[in-house]
């Protein structure tokens, strides 16, 4: 068993040096003690099981603090406005998993996790998803949970590594309202209501990565990365109700090669 604790203290001071926006001046201090506990079980040298719980704090960044007024949206990252207080984001994570080795050429790992963020910060568009104007705000609780599988095998000069993020369930856990004029489900005031259980835009439910390496000689490596990401919801569709639906997933193939001419010189190419 491992017990740990970390005390975070952060201070952000923002000042207007132009003399034309004195409302930018502000001082913000955030602090918190974050505990953690973990259990490891190693019945054999080839197998480890573990369970952990930890908490963390992320203080708002200077950009977030200086773009937090809904009455004066800014165009990131080129403009700053007055900086009303934002709350720090607090994370609470549970994780269980295992990892091990099969023979001398195969390793594997598996994990299940759940992270809940309190007072999560999100950039909210003030004129719909097509606009760059908006502001940051605390949106209550969000949660990201799922499963991860990974493994690597080596057969002589050929190596294969794969990882799979199985159904990452990233959702809002609070109800809040935002302006999103481009969303087809807006009310008469141009607002949408985000409910607990709505998926967070930009985070795919499934991500698969496959890496293949081949070394015809010790100095030369040829490799490829294959990535698949499933569909996502667009920013501005936080309520998942826009008539256009989600953005389709995609499959990506990258190729690369490296050659060590000497110990000090390496050439490479990617596509």
- Split the chain (271 residues) into runs of 10 and give each run's mean pLDDT: 96 79 77 97 96 96 78 63 77 98 94 96 70 80 96 95 91 90 88 94 95 95 96 92 94 97 95 91
Listed in sequence order, the residues at least 6 apart from 16 whose beta carbon sits closer than 8 Å to its beta carbon are 22, 23, 24, 25
List of domains in the chain: 2-270 (2.40.170.20)
- Give pTM, 2 decimals: 0.83
CB 201 within 8 A of CB 234: yes
d(CA 115, CA 94): 7
CB atoms within 10 A of CB 243: 8
- Calculate Rg over the CA atoms of the chain: 23
Query: How confident is the model over 138-166, as pLDDT tens digits?
Result: 999 999 999 999 999 999 999 999 999 88
- pLDDT tens readout for residues 223-254: 999 999 999 999 889 999 999 999 999 999 99
Q: What is the pairing mode between strands 176-179 and 133-138?
A: unpaired
Could you tell me the CA-to-CA distances from 55 to 58, 96, 98, 172, 222 in Å, in that order?
A: 10, 15, 21, 19, 41
């Amino acid at each position: 068993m491992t017990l740990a604790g970390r005390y975070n203290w952060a201070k952000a001071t923002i000042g207007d040096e132009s003399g034309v926006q004195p409302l930018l001046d502000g001082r913000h201090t955030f602090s918190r003690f974050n505990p953690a506990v973990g259990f490891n079980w190693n019945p054999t040298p080839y197998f480890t099981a573990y369970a952990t719980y930890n908490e963390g704090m992320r203080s708002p960044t200077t950009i977030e603090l200086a773009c937090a007024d809904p009455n004066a949206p800014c165009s990131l990252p080129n403009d700053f406005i007055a900086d009303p207080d934002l709350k720090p984001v607090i994370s609470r994570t549970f994780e269980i998993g295992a990892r091990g080795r099969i023979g001398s050429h195969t390793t594997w790992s598996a994990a299940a996790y759940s992270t809940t963020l309190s007072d999560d910060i999100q950039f909210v568009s003030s004129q719909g998803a097509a606009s760059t104007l908006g502001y940051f705000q605390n949106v209550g609780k969000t949660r990201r949970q799922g499963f991860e599988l990974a493994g690597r095998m080596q057969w002589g000069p050929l190596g294969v590594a794969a990882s799979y993020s199985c159904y990452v369930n990233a959702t809002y856990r609070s109800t809040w309202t935002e302006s999103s004029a481009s969303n087809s489900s807006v009310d008469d005031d141009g607002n949408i209501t985000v409910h607990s259980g709505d998926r967070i835009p930009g985070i795919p439910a499934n991500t698969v990565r496959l890496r293949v390496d081949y070394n015809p000689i010790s100095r030369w490596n040829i490799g490829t990365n294959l990535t698949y990401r499933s569909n996502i919801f667009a920013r501005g569709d936080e309520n998942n109700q826009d008539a256009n639906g989600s953005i389709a997933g995609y499959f990506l193939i990258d190729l690369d090669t490296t050659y060590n001419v000497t110990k000090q010189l390496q050439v490479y190419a990617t596509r």
